[in-house]
Copies of this chain bind each other. A is one copy, B any other.
Amino acid sequence: MKQKLSIVKIGGNVIGDATQLTHVLELFSKMEGHKILVHGGGKKATEISNQLGIQAKMVNGRRITDANSLDVAIMVYGGLVSKKVTSELQYLGTNAIGMSGADANSIMAHKRPVTEVDFGWVGDVDNVNSSNISKLLHAGFTPIFCALTHDGKGQLFNTNADTIASELAIGLSQEFETKLYYCFEKKGVLRDVEDEDSVIPHINSNSYQQLLEEGIIADGMLPKMHNCFHALQNKVNQVCIGDSTMLDNTNTNYTILTL
């Protein structure tokens, strides 16, 4: 029987709030079995960029990662956030290692091809090194991944943290029974976006199609749900969406996605 692995992605809202972050890390620490945490940098990257006088570059409303912005991402995601989360988790008894995709050659990517927009140093994931990550898990370590990947030739990339979480889950599903948790600011997928009490408890491929047709899943939820079903179609066992209290195993008020 496969061993269980939980992959938890925490959102920028949690990273930016010290009290909330500590609470989430406490819940994460108590989770049993092998686990991996994935985080971005929250608002701190924008804050540091502003202080350094680096202007956010936008083309057609999309954010571009130029060389300076990449350096800020490496400093904030890979340094400040990663090391603070790691030291706090060590305090909580979790043997964390803060990593980018370059560490242990974990996540390989290539520069996103230029179409109408050149996104700059943004990487699309090619491959997760499940063998190296598995070695770390079996040695008792808990990898903490930030939103950075590399091309194996010395170049780092900015990569969406949601994508990193789903690619890790997919890559490790061969060996582990994987469960993917997406923590965000809402309690789950809502039937009525204005009503926090309208959490849809369970969505499968059929009801997903129906929710799409009814327009209940729209806007920002579209890429998130796409990521989730992409993971499920690639052997990830279960995906959970909700706010970070879903990591508390007495809470059942969140959305579970299955095929």
Q: Which residues of A in the span 97-142 have a Cβ within 8 Å of any Cβ on B?
A: 97-100, 102-105, 132, 135-136, 139-141
- In the assembled complex, which residues on chain B have CB atoms less than 8 Å from the CB atom of A139? 135-136, 139
Is the pair A86, B103 in contact by a Cβ cutoff of 8 Å?
yes
Decide yes or no whether A147 CB sits under 8 A from chain B: no
Q: Which residues of A in the span 129-166 have a Cβ within 8 Å of any Cβ on B?
A: 132, 135-136, 139-141, 148, 150, 152-156
Is the pair B80, A74 in contact by a Cβ cutoff of 8 Å?
yes
The count of chain A contact residues (Cβ–Cβ below 8 Å) is 43
Decide yes or no whether A12 CB sits under 8 A from chain B: no
Is the pair A71, B78 in contact by a Cβ cutoff of 8 Å?
no
Is the pair B105, A95 in contact by a Cβ cutoff of 8 Å?
yes
Decide yes or no whether A1 CB sits under 8 A from chain B: no
When each residue 56-88 of chain A gets 1 if its CB lies under 8 Å from chain B and 0 otherwise, what string results?
000000000000000100111111101110111
Q: Which residue of B lies closest to A100 (CB)?
A: B83
Decide yes or no whether A233 CB sits under 8 A from chain B: no
Q: Provided the pairs A97-B97, A104-B97 are in contact, do residues A156 and B83 lie with their beta carbons within 8 angstroms?
A: yes
Q: Provided the pairs A74-B79, A78-B79, A103-B98 are in contact, do residues A87 and B154 lie with their beta carbons within 8 angstroms?
A: yes
